[in-house]
Amino acid sequence: MHVVITGGAGFLGSRLARELLKRRALTGSDGVAREITKVTLVDVVRARGFDDPRVELLAGDVADPEVVADAITEETGSIFHLAAVVSGQAEAEFDLGLRINLDATRLILERARRNGNRPRIVFTSSVAVFGGPLPERVLDTSILAPQSSYGTQKAMAELLINDYSRKGFVDGRALRMPTISVRPGAPNKAASSFASGIVREPLEGKEAVCPVSPDTVMWLMSPRKAIQALLHGHELDGAAFGHSRALSMPGLSITVRDMVAALERVAGKEVVARIRWEPDPALARIVASWPGDFVTARADALGFERDASFEEIVRAYIDDDLPRAR
Amino acid sequence: MHVVITGGAGFLGSRLARELLKRRALTGSDGVAREITKVTLVDVVRARGFDDPRVELLAGDVADPEVVADAITEETGSIFHLAAVVSGQAEAEFDLGLRINLDATRLILERARRNGNRPRIVFTSSVAVFGGPLPERVLDTSILAPQSSYGTQKAMAELLINDYSRKGFVDGRALRMPTISVRPGAPNKAASSFASGIVREPLEGKEAVCPVSPDTVMWLMSPRKAIQALLHGHELDGAAFGHSRALSMPGLSITVRDMVAALERVAGKEVVARIRWEPDPALARIVASWPGDFVTARADALGFERDASFEEIVRAYIDDDLPRAR
């Protein structure tokens, strides 16, 4: 079976690829487990660090029909569509956001439909599809009222995936991911970058700036649980999703203060002393507009799992990523 | 001021055009009332029955960039975007539905954005954006989970209009219309066609078939209130919409039995005797999946009005349309 990962050079995409190569099998469109014979990683740059003969690296624009036609063929049983323009950039570069977050998704759906083999498609959506007046805990039945271009484009893509699936053209699943923490690597320009930085940088002996108040409530998921969710979301039978293929993933609702306290318990006082509290009102406003807590009854019933504690998340980061970072 | 109506040859579009020509003025993008100097009706066929020198008739495909560029210029202060592929056809012809219901909307938004004059855009959305497990009365905060391609495309268009408005590219308003009854003219292939037919045909001395049970609950709006809603939705200040430019319109929640009883009170026993009750289970299932009742708190607060009774709707049809039909 051929698997395609868009955004395959990114942190989640590469980690997912490594996990797939280890697992060796995935459920095919016929519901039967099949051996993974090829994993194609599509991204603007070639993914690094793969020497497995099953891996194909494809550098190209995922919104380019030729690139998509090269990547996705009648042999493609599974597509993990992770490529995206992130929140801050989609707001600053409106056309680019629409092109990658919406048009590329449509192109992939349409290619898969034309191929006629009804592949499983796992799409990473976002809690940014929610916004406006929300209950204290967002429900599975809460309205989609995104307040950003990123959230709008993700919500539109969800709707399209749902309809393509309802029509039987593809077998899609749109998983709304919480903020992933702790991400390895360098800080980026996402407003949520600090949620990884305040753990990652101090553990590497560097100073980190926390731009939000300690009272800020975050909705978090570890990289381990994120990969688990993508795989579990793929393996579930499509019919189990019921009336909608879009699903809010379980997360951990926690204040920034409690995140730092957990880091201190794991790594000590001198590590958390490297966090500089420097409020950035504009950024804090954006982060405060994100829902910090959800009731994810549908995902829970389908067997998706949340992280047990932020302490566990920090320990997992130390095990999985810190050695490489040092 | 130049006004564009897409779907201008249709029943609502033509009626709206006549109303605009009578009113003579609309609020411009600067919030100031301006004289209507030109009304362009765009549709696949040329609209009939207009001899006003202010009317321009444009026959063309609203998903064709050249047609859109011809219709919408820097002089265009208002756009009523009513052109659509209806529910049944969007389900049968998936690509056509996407092209007209989504792509044409995006084209119009993009044209308006490029023109740079931030026109007001009134878009007719639909209660078909709702679906799946819903409360007995749909709320302004209920989730968008369309169960049809038509509803999916309308929901995507709503999201896009909202984001283009939030970014300040256009000044959009997406009004979710109930089933319009009583529509004049011939029956069509919409599943809701009977909701007009069981009044219109008997009043013209013809037999009508009612394919659903008398217990079926409908969510209705008269043509008069629909035109009023489009104009009111245009005239409101954009900021009044708050976090979302999409809004469920007030309607009348009524059983088919009570619709027929109202017709009998207005027109007598021999008229309703022309209704033949001939259940069509497939069609009845579709109609039963539509929400029959809404709490439209946001629209009510903004001054949109509902019909007082179905009797009043029948009388209005007799006044406005029956003479022409006979």
Q: What is the pLDDT of residues B287-303, one digit of tens each?
A: 887 899 999 999 999 99
**Domains of chain A, start order:** 2-178+222-248 (3.40.50.720), 194-218+252-291+307-325 (3.90.25.10)
Say what the pLDDT of residue A239 is: 95
Whole-number average pLDDT of chain B: 95
**Residue A215 per-residue DSSP state:** T
**What are the start-end ranges of the H helices in B85-171?**
87-92, 94-97, 104-115, 149-166
- Is the pLDDT score of B239 beyond 80? yes
What are the chain B neighbours of A243 within 8 Å (beta carbons)?
131-133, 145, 147
Residues in chain B, how many? 326
Q: Which residues of B touch A167 (CB under 8 A)?
A: 94, 149
Read off the pLDDT band of B325 (50, 70, 90).
Answer: low
The CA distance from A321 to A203, in Å, is 11
| Residue B15 exposure: Cα atoms within 13 Å on the Cβ side | 19
Chain-centroid distance of CA B198 in Å reads 20
Site from B103, B126, B144 to mutate, A interface, most A CB atoms within 10 angstroms = B144
Active site residues of B: 150
Which among B132, B133, B162 has CB closest to A152? B162
Are the beta carbons of B144 and A147 separated by less than 8 Å? no
CA distance B126 to B176: 4
Beta pairing class for B33-35 and B25-27: antiparallel
User: Does residue B56 surpass a pLDDT of 80?
Assistant: yes
Q: Is the pLDDT of residue A136 over 60?
A: yes
Sign of dihedral through CA atoms B93, B94, B96, B102? positive
- Comparing A132-136, B81-85, B107-111, the range with the smallest average pLDDT is A132-136
Asked whether residue B67 carries a pLDDT value surpassing 70, the answer given is yes
d(CA B57, CA B47): 7
Distance from CA of A80 to the nearest CA of B (A): 22
Q: Locate tokens 């800080």: which residue?
A: A187
Angle at A236 between CA A234 and CA A238, to 5 degrees: 95
From residue A149, give the alpha-carbon distance in Å to each of B143, B165, B167, B250: 19, 11, 9, 29
Is the Cβ pair B152, A159 closer than 8 Å? Answer: yes
The encoded tokens of residue A268 equal: 């000590």
Say what the pTM is.
0.95
Angle at A126 between CA A123 and CA A132, to 5 degrees: 145
Tokens of A166: 């309802």
- Chain B residues with beta carbon closer than 8 angstroms to that of A162: 145-146, 152
Q: Are B129 and B144 in contact (CB under 8 A)?
A: yes
How many Å lie between the alpha carbon of A158 and the closest alpha carbon of chain B?
10
Which range is least confidently modeled, A25-29, A216-220, A265-269, B180-184? Answer: A25-29
Please give, rounded to a whole number of angstroms, the shortest distance from the CA of A104 to a CA of chain B. Answer: 15
Cα A196 from Cα B103, distance rounded (Å): 39
Expressed in percent and rounded to 5, the helix, strand and coil fractions of chain A are: 45, 20, 35
Give the pLDDT confidence score for residue B259 in this predicted structure: 98
Q: How far is A141 from chain B (nearest CA, A)?
A: 5
Which residues of chain A make contact with B158, given a CB cutoff of 8 A?
none
CB A5 within 8 A of CB A21: no
Query: At A109, is the pLDDT very low, low, confident or very high (cuts 50, 70, 90)?
Result: very high
Structure confidence by residue, pLDDT tens digits, A263-314: 999 999 999 999 999 999 988 887 887 899 999 999 999 999 999 999 999 9
Residues of chain B contacting residue A244, judged by C-beta atoms under 8 Å apart: 132, 145
The one-letter code for the residue type at B260 is V
**Cα B11 off chain centre by:** 10
Q: Find the mean pLDDT for residues A43-48.
A: 94
Nearest by CB to residue B159, choosing from A142, A156, A242, is: A156
pLDDT at B326 over 70: no
User: Is B244 within 8 Å of A132 when comparing Cβ atoms?
Assistant: yes
Q: Which of the four pLDDT bands, split at 50, 70 and 90, describes residue B189?
A: confident
Note the pLDDT tens digit of each residue in A4-40. 999 999 999 999 999 999 999 999 888 899 999 999 9
pLDDT band at B80 (very low <50, low <70, confident <90, very high): very high
Residue A42 phi/psi, 5° resolution? -100, 130
Residues of A at the B interface, defined by Cβ within 8 angstroms: 94, 131-133, 140-147, 149, 152, 155-156, 159-160, 162-163, 166-167, 242-244
- Give the 3-state secondary structure of residue A175: strand
Q: Provide, as residue numbers in chain B, all residues whose Cβ is less than 8 Å from the Cβ of A94.
A: 167
Instruction: Say what the pLDDT of residue B283 is.
Output: 85
Q: Which pair of tokens denotes residue A210? A: 């926390």
Q: DSSP of B43-106, one letter per residue?
A: ESS---S---TTEEEEES-TTSHHHHHHH--TTEEEEEE-----HHHHHHSHHHHIIIIIIHHH
Query: Buried b / exposed e across B115-152, counting CB within 10 Å, b at 16+?
Result: bebbbbbbbbbbbbbbbbebeeebbbbbbbbbbbbbbb
Distance CA B184, CA B193 (A): 11
Task: Calculate what percentage of chain B has a pLDDT beyond 70.
Answer: 99
A244 and B167 within 8 Å at the Cβ level: the answer is no
Which residue has 């318990």 as its token pair?
A: A265
Contacts 24+ apart (CB under 8 A), A273-276: A274/A201, A274/A202, A274/A205, A274/A206, A274/A207, A274/A208, A275/A198, A275/A202, A275/A207, A275/A208, A275/A209, A275/A210, A276/A207, A276/A208, A276/A209, A276/A210
Q: From the CA of B3, how many Å to the nearest CA of chain A?
A: 27
Mean pLDDT, range A43-52, rounded to an integer: 94
Q: CB of B325 within 8 A of CB of B199?
A: no
Q: Which residues contact B92 (CB under 8 A, 6 or more apart)?
A: none
Contact B146, A159 (CB under 8 A): yes
Question: Under an 8 A CB cutoff, do B145 and A94 touch?
Answer: no
Q: Position B81: which residue type?
A: H
Q: Where are the beta strands (DSSP E) in chain B?
A: 2-6, 25-27, 33-35, 38-43, 55-59, 76-81, 120-126, 171-177, 179-180, 208-210, 217-221, 246-248, 252-255, 275-277
How far, in whole angstroms, is CA B319 from its chain's centroid? 21
- Given a contact cutoff of 8 angstroms between Cβ atoms, the answer to whether B218 and B254 are in contact is yes
The type of residue at B54 is R
Query: What is the predicted pLDDT for the residue at B81?
Result: 98
Mean pLDDT value across residues B27-48: 93
Q: Specify whether A150 is catalytic.
A: yes
Looking at residue B307, its pLDDT comes to 97
**From B149, which residue of chain A is nearest by alpha-carbon distance?**
A163
What distance in Å separates the CA atoms of residue B251 and residue B222, rounded to the nearest whole number? 9
**Which residue of B98, B110, B163, B245 is the best one to mutate when testing the A interface, meaning the one whose CB has the most A CBs within 10 A?**
B163
Q: Give the DSSP H/E element, type plus range, for residue A123.
A: strand A120-126
Cα–Cα–Cα angle for B105, A246, A138, rounded to 5 degrees: 100
Res A325: pLDDT: 62
Q: What is the pLDDT of residue A218?
A: 96
Distance, CA of B114 to CA of A46 (rounded, Å): 35
A-B contacts (CB, under 8 Å) = 64
What per-residue confidence (pLDDT) applies to B118? Answer: 97
**What number of H helices and E strands is found in chain B?**
14, 14
Q: Do A208 and A259 touch, CB atoms closer than 8 A?
A: no
SS3 B263: helix
**Does residue B29 carry a pLDDT above 90?**
no
Q: Is the CB of B166 less than 8 angstroms away from the CB of A147?
A: yes
Determine the distance in angstroms separating the CA of B7 from the nearest CA of chain A, rounded to an integer: 24
Distances (CA, A) of A216 to A147, A195, A257, A292: 19, 11, 8, 8
**In terms of Cα–Cα distance, which of B317, B119, B115, B133 is closest to B226?**
B317
Helix pair B310-320, B194-203: axis angle to 10 deg = 60
Regarding an ipTM greater than 0.90, the answer is yes
Nearest CA-CA partner of A117 in A247, A239, A4, A231: A4
Distances (CA, A) of B300 to B221, B230, B303: 14, 14, 5
The per-residue pLDDT of chain A, averaged, comes to 95
